[in-house]
Amino acid sequence: MESVTTASWKCLKKSEPEKKVLSGLPLNELIDELKSLPAPLPPFRAKQIFKWISRGITSFEEMTDLDKSLRENLDSRFSVRSSEVSARLEDPDGTVKLQISLLDESKIEAVLLSDAEDRKTACISTQAGCPVGCVFCKTGSLGFSRNLNSAEIVEQFLHLKALSTGTNISNIVIMGMGEPLLNLAELRRALAVLSDAEGLGISRRRVTVSTSGVISGIRDLTDNGPHIRLACSLTSARQDLRNRLMPIGETNPLPLLKKALTAYQQKSGQRITLEAVLLGGVNTTPADAAAMIDFARSLDAVINLIPWNPVEGMIFEGKPLREPSRAEAETFASLLEKGGLKVTRRYRKGRGVAGACGQLGVVP
């Protein structure tokens, strides 16, 4: 059973979209922005404001250590936020999915996951829709609307944080809607906000970015950081099958992908996660396992197996996609383990609210 609540947030002023939004500005950009006002503000003011925004306030009025005239002046020029929660769905397993409305009326989704020890993880989107079009993914089936900006990425975290009474959110996974490395500039700014010790201070080691395998983006991260945890959705290590399942494979071939992942690993000193969505009867044969072992052997990688989460009406080459049986998934996992790979099976949280991997996609 699920409960649906329509949100009552009224922090937005949709009639004033021209106002600059502050929630997505890294501290250095906020300092510069406030320095360039007709009556410039010193950096310590920017820090105060940055802290307030990180704490989750939604209006200048609530910044009680600024005097009233300054608050009014800021309010006439800027908005704190640019999005609002339009619906909230709760799964009995503790997963909460938020539907979030943006200024242009686009809708995106963000998910809060809790584990048995009540550790909380925020799953965040980087695009409205996705241009990659993997055949097994609900988001991919929507097509692409647009990239999210830094404020829209940061605010998903702030909306989820507001739900999270008790324990703080300890981890972030950039595994919601969209391909993060096709929106790397805005993602980078958002991560700078989220990891700043003056604000939320989420350590980069607690952030995982999942990519479908955008080689140019992996190289950019290698050279310019941030060196977050990287997950790459492999799903098949057979080039031909991968191209048919994940069209991005055609322009991002496996040998070059492996080279880019190896370089990232060497530079960042981090173990890589390779994700594989298991599709019943499609990518679980011994030949599929052998190809995956061959791909992953020289990397320091963990293979995360994700049994396909059902999405209605998904057809692959004339046949409906289906979940793998437990035996099929286990046989595949043990073949990988026999080949020397480390394997984890991902828990299936959030299915009751269509908030599990690959199920995100707002019905307009």
Interface residue list for ligand SF4 (CB under 6 A)? 130, 132-134, 137, 139-140, 178-179, 212, 358
Q: With respect to ligand SF4, which residue has the nearer C-beta, 23 or 99?
A: 99
CA distance 87 to 5: 6
The one of ligand SAH, ligand SF4, none whose footprint includes residue 357, by CB under 5 to 8 A per kind, is ligand SAH
Task: Classify 62 as helix, strand or coil.
Answer: helix
Q: How far is the CB of 133 from ligand SF4 (least distance, A)?
A: 6
What is the set of active-site residues? 109, 357
Site string for ligand SAH, 81-120 (x = CB under 6 A): ----------------------------------------
Tell me how crowded residue 138 is: count the other CB atoms within 10 A of its CB: 23
CA-based R_g, the chain, Å: 21
- CB of 279 closer than 8 Å to CB of 271: no
The one of ligand SF4, ligand SAH, none whose footprint includes residue 311, by CB under 5 to 8 A per kind, is ligand SAH
Expressed in percent and rounded to 5, the helix, strand and coil fractions of the chain are 35, 20, 40
Of 190, 191, 357, 362, the residue at the interface with ligand SAH (CB under 6 A) is: 357
Burial of 100 (0-12, 13-18, 19+ CB in 10 A): buried
Q: How far is the CB of 110 from ligand SAH (least distance, A)?
A: 12
CA distance 257 to 217: 11
Q: How far is the CB of 176 from ligand SF4 (least distance, A)?
A: 8
Q: Does 237 bind ligand SAH (CB under 6 A)?
A: no
Q: With respect to ligand SAH, which residue has the nearer C-beta, 79 or 309?
A: 309
Of 99, 91, 137, 144, give the one whose Cα is nearest residue 359. 137
Q: Does 157 bind ligand SAH (CB under 6 A)?
A: no
- State the chain's maximal CA–CA distance in angstroms: 70
Element (H, E) at 345: strand 342-345
Q: Does 309 bind ligand SAH (CB under 6 A)?
A: yes
Q: Judged by CB under 6 A, how many residues of this single chain contact ligand SAH?
A: 17
The one of ligand SAH, ligand SF4, none whose footprint includes residue 236, by CB under 5 to 8 A per kind, is none
DSSP code, position 60: G
Q: With respect to ligand SAH, which residue has the nearer C-beta, 70 or 302?
A: 302
From 34-42, 77-85, 208-216, 265-273, span contacting ligand SAH (CB under 6 A): 208-216
In DSSP terms, 83 is beta-bridged to: 102
The one of ligand SF4, ligand SAH, none whose footprint includes residue 133, by CB under 5 to 8 A per kind, is ligand SF4
Q: With respect to ligand SAH, which residue has the nearer C-beta, 26 or 361?
A: 361
Tell me how crowded residue 345 is: count the other CB atoms within 10 A of its CB: 14
Element (H, E) at 329: helix 326-338
The one of ligand SF4, ligand SAH, none whose footprint includes residue 192, by CB under 5 to 8 A per kind, is none
Q: How far is the CB of 113 from ligand SAH (least distance, A)?
A: 13
CB under 8 Å to 270, separation ≥6 — which residues?
227, 229, 230, 264
Q: How far is the CB of 362 from ligand SAH (least distance, A)?
A: 15
In DSSP terms, 245 is beta-bridged to: none
Q: Does 311 bind ligand SAH (CB under 6 A)?
A: yes
Of 101, 106, 233, 265, the residue at the interface with ligand SAH (CB under 6 A) is: 233
Q: With respect to ligand SAH, which residue has the nearer C-beta, 284 or 309?
A: 309
Going through 162-313 in order, the beta strands assigned E by DSSP cover 169-174, 207-211, 229-233, 272-278, 301-307
Summarize as ranges the residues that interact with ligand SAH (CB under 6 A): 136-137, 175, 179, 210-212, 233, 235, 275, 277, 306, 308-309, 311, 357-358
